[in-house]
């Protein structure tokens, strides 16, 4: 019991220190592009996400940290056009994947397409809101 308390305390301290750089939004998985763009009630909450978007014309990166029940996963998005922290977009197009991430007026939308070896596309739609 004491060990669980210690782990919970460490996790809360870690989460607080990580998220102090930016606010944490509720993060959702959505069944369609339309529901994702609206971040509607059809989307299912799967965790939290924070963003560090800084205007840097040379780098053009956005740092993202995804918080789910079992992990904390940082990621750096590249090829970004950052106007400010609440308005930016990033797009990556490669041979087997396409990703687009957009924050518009504080509402986040993401579409990830992975091309499978059988020729089918696996499409995942996500959104986030305060």
For residue 109, pLDDT over 50 is answered with yes
pLDDT of residue 23: 87
pLDDT at 130: 83
Q: Is pLDDT at 1 greater than 90 in this prediction? A: no
- The conformation of residue 106, written as its DSSP 8-state character, comes to T
For residue range 9-26, list pLDDT tens digits in order: 333 333 333 333 468 999
Tens digit of pLDDT for each residue in 55-76? 666 677 888 998 887 889 998 8
- List of domains in the chain: 23-129 (2.40.160)
The string of DSSP codes covering 40-61 is -TTSEEEEEEEEEE---TTT--
* Minimum mean pLDDT range among 36-45, 76-85, 102-111, 118-127: 76-85
Kindly report the number of other CB atoms within 10 A of residue 122's CB atom.
10
Residue 79: pLDDT band with limits 50, 70, 90: confident
Strands 121-129 and 107-115: antiparallel
């Amino acid at each position: 019991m004491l060990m669980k308390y210690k782990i919970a305390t460490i996790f809360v301290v870690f989460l607080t220190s990580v998220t102090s750089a930016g606010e944490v939004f509720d993060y959702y998985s959505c069944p369609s592009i339309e529901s994702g763009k609206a971040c509607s009630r059809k989307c299912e909450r799967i965790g939290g996400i924070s963003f560090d978007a800084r205007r840097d014309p040379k780098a053009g990166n956005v740092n993202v940290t995804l918080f789910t029940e079992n992990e904390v996963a940082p990621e750096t998005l590249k090829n970004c056009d950052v106007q400010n922290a609440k308005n930016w977009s990033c797009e990556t197009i490669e041979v087997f994947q396409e990703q687009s991430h957009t924050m518009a007026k504080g509402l986040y939308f993401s579409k990830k397409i992975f091309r499978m070896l059988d020729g089918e596309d696996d499409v995942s739609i996500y959104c986030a809101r305060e």
